[in-house]
Amino acid sequence: MANRHSLDEKQPFIKTEPAPDEIPVPAAAVPSRPAAPRVPRWARILLKVALVTWFAVSVRTWARANVDVVLEAHEAQWLAGAFSDSFAGHHARPRKILFGKKAEQKFLTVPNAPSAIAASRQYATKPHMAGTSGDYDTAVDFLKLLQTELGAAAPSALPVYSAGTPESRNATLGITKLKTPTAWIDTYYPVMNTPLDHSLEILDEDGKAVWTAALEEVADDTDPEAGKYYDAVTTWHGLSRGGSAQGKLVYANYGTKEDFDKLVAKGVDLNGTIVIARYGGNFRGLKVKGAQEHGAVACLIYSDPRDDGTVTAENGYAAYPHGPARNPNSVQRGSTQFLSIYPGDPTTPGYPSYENSTRTNGTNIPSIPSLPLSWANAQKLLAEIKDGGLNRTISLVNNVDDKVIPIWNTMGVIPGHIKDEIVVVGNHRDAWVMGASDPSSGTSSIHEVIRGLGELLRNGWTPLRTIVIASWDAEEYGLIGSTEWGEDFADFIDDHVVAYFNLDSSVSGSRFRALATPSLAHFVRGIAEEIEHPTKPGKTLWDATKDSGVLTGDHIDAEVLAAYQASEVEAAADGTGVGLLGSGSDFTVFVQRTGVASNNIGFQSTLQDPVYHYHSVFDSERWMETYGDPGFGRHVAIAKHLGLQTIRLADSIVLPINTTHHALELEHYLNKVESIAATSALDVDFAGLRSAIHALQKASAKLDTEKTKAEKKLRKLLRRLAVRHLVRRNIRRALCRIRKLLGKECAHHPGAAAVAGATPVQKEKAFECSAMAKGGKNGLLSFQPRVGRAAAWATEQRAGEEGAHGHGHGHGKKHSFPMKRFRKAAQRVRAVNQKLKAFERGFIHEEGIKDREWYRNLDIAPGKWLGYGATTFPALTEAFTIEKNATMAQYETKRLQNLIEKLAEEIKI
């Protein structure tokens, strides 16, 4: 019996019957426990709500604390998906993708002085005038740089395409379809000229030469490259008229319109004379234009040390290469094209110069010959016309070879997610001789920008917008490479280019200077305030706008100082400190023909800086490394600024174009015109124009509100998406732990990090115990555990995500994340960006400006007699200052009013 009871204790769940002779044990009554007080139903509900709320708040608080980390990793992909036609294809990557501030910080680690110096030595130690073999070599060098750094394909045959051919056309027109970086060279065929022979003599009464100028620059091996190449490119003017002339000299100061007007007012007859003028004040071609329009037969232009400020021999400074002062034998080459009439190939105004293009007789080039002179030669000539001078006849010869000469634009593309919005970054590559400052300092800086962008690409970065990098050719002859490309692809630029960033010389002195269309002024300045000063710790690049050289002296020309101080006052008139774009560099076709928001940056020379030998053989690598930018800190600072501009604008959700600042500036422009009108006898009504400007200001203010709201909405949805991602990710991790406890492997979700590309959900395998695995069931059925609602919720989310993003098309399922709202928010931003892009276009008038119709921007253009400098409301202003015609002034007022009214309507929300 004891054994039996022992067995029963060990098997309590086996039912046994009592033996027949045993008396059953009576069941003992179990005393009942007092019932616990029942919790009211409302309290139970309240407790559950509190627990759920606590859990939800805890999860949300935790998610918000980590959302920035998620956005840093995946914002780029989500934005790419939102702005693309379809989310399909934007699969998540297994690592973080550089974007925003992280991309900018990564970029800033790349540009450095040793690399910039190496690039400068590559380009600036040999001549490469446009159209020469040296120029072609630099085009190929730049192509290889793009291929290497951007990862662009390098076919066995160089991708050099003749402009106008299907290959060339498709290369640019196909940019919006590219998926990988690419690079190529476009060849254009402008008419330019090269020097043959030239001379300059003083003749006696019998016509015999009593003095012959040594026109070439003189250099020795103190400057190795200058000593080697001093006569590689003769001293002459590009696009100058070939021929000879004789006449008496007339001094015209700077050769500005005002200078010629003063001569006429004094009764000086310029017919048959040879005008001699000094560089400065306006574009050199307009000096020749002024001379020819007043009857002169030739023009000489020289470099005057008076314009060198304090850095002169008079103040004890030695001449270069032995010191920082001007070498008296230096000569400024340059184009004498009439830049303010139209730039580009003189024979194809308004259309591209293909090899077989129809040519016209250029109307933007001189009809009289000209020559550039050194100070050494100019002194001899000026002595002829001083009081007591002999004033003998001057004989000039300038023979040139006018012909079609091929030039080469090197182009590179980094495709972005938004294919139809493009940022163009450009720098010209050709130089008159070696051009260590102009343009190779710019080429060196953009070399560093390309290296930085390449580093980002190698680390997984893709810009939101497409970036085009251009190395323009033949800028020195008259902005030819950029102009021909701009005329060739005018519609493409109008449709797609949202901004153009230009770099000419990045360093020629100590003062940072920025020029921009007013809508980009704050953007340019803001970035300069973020970059460290290249030579002064604790200061910023923007602080360098107040820098000056340290080479002081007691003697300085009063006229030069007054003009310099006046320019300083004018620069300070704009509250941003950013000047206006006129012409003189490759931004011209973008600003003046199409209306693209643009800017140009660089360090410029002051009156206390080492003398910059502009367009001379002494613009050399030795001068740059010794005097221009020892250590190349300024080159690097410009590279960082240009690179940040490019990355920030390419990756910005809303384009950083400030239409309101520009709209407010218009009123200042009108005030200036009214001041001019007040000093004239012309009666013009500006009320309608002022009213239109006010309407534009109001429309722009509303656009500001809309762009703020549009970006805020999209960012809010991005953060919601990030929170959602965090919650889903941690639920998956929790499920993974549970599966591991049950001896199962975790499913891999390679696409779980992104909105798009979710991994298809696999059907979960039924749970089996070990006995079932061995084939024994013991009456038990297989089952699937339900681990709360989380597993089903995660599955539904993944399935719904697939349907939302092109994986199964959704089958009508409702998604927890509002994808429609996400897309709608992105489209709202796109609509704002289109209005921002259209703003600068709104100042373009198809009829252009009187007598120079190529220029179509009625807001800002180069002054008719300035060339470089900007004139605001140019057609209207010149109706007063040049035409002095009330009817024309009223017509231009109405024309401008109509444009601004139309623009206000276009940007209206």
**Which residue, chain included where needed, has tokens 């073999």?**
133
Nearest residue to 434 (alpha-carbon basis) of 663, 625, 154, 199: 625
What is the distance, to the nearest Å, from the Cα of residue 758 to the centroid of all Cα atoms in its chain? 36
> Residue 532 has what DSSP assignment?
B
Distance (Å, whole) CA 524 – CA 656: 10
Q: Please say if 475 is a catalytic residue.
A: yes
- Helices 659-678, 874-881: inter-axial angle, 10-degree rounding: 10
Residues 6+ apart with CB under 8 A from 126: 134, 225, 229, 434
* C-alpha closest to that of 516 among 704, 340, 701, 662: 662
How big is the CA angle at 158 (ends 157 and 162), to the nearest 5 degrees?
115
Residue 715 CA to residue 535 CA, distance in Å, equals 38
| 620, 436 Cβ separation under 8 angstroms | yes
Q: CA 801 → CA 77, 571, 662, 756, distances in Å?
A: 15, 55, 44, 8
Helix and strand numbers, DSSP H then E, in the chain: 26, 20
Could you tell me how far CA 730 lies from the centroid of its own chain?
41
Asked whether the beta carbons of 331 and 374 are under 8 A apart, the reply is: yes
Q: How far apart are CA 231 and CA 331, in angstroms?
A: 12
Residue 603 neighbours by CB under 8 Å, 6+ apart: 506, 507, 508, 509, 510, 511, 512, 513, 544, 629, 634, 638
The answer to whether 355 and 162 have CB atoms below 8 angstroms apart is yes
Angstrom distance (rounded) from CA 80 to CA 92: 11
- Indicate the DSSP class of residue 624: I
Q: What angle do CA 671, 676, 680 make, to 5 degrees?
A: 140
Q: Do residues 263 and 292 make contact, with C-beta atoms less than 8 angstroms apart?
A: no
| Nearby residues of 163 by Cβ (< 8 Å), 6 or more positions away | 186, 187, 188, 189, 352, 353, 354, 355, 484, 488
| Catalytic option among 201, 225, 475, 892 | 475
Per-residue burial over 555-585, b if 16 or more Cβ lie within 10 Å, else e, is ebbeebeeeeeeeeeeeeeeebbbbbbbbbb
User: Residue 107 has which token pair?
Assistant: 């970029």
Q: Which residue, 714, 715, 900, 523, is CA-closest to 908?
A: 900
Tell me the CA distances in angstroms from 157 to 140, 161, 184, one per residue in order. 12, 11, 11
Token readout for 229 is 């190449």
Question: Three-state SS across 750-763?
Answer: CCCCCCCCCCCCCC
Give yes or no for a contact between 197 and 399, defined as CB atoms under 8 angstroms apart.
yes
Of 503, 485, 475, 428, nearest to 334 by C-alpha is 475
By C-alpha distance, which of 881, 846, 875 is closest to 862? 875
**Could you give the angle at which helices 687-741 and 659-678 cross, rounded to 10 degrees?**
170
Contacts of 706 (CB under 8 A, 6+ apart): 832, 909
Which tokens in the block code for residue 511? Answer: 């003062």
Q: Which residues pair with 288 in a beta bridge?
A: none
Q: What are the catalytic residues?
A: 475
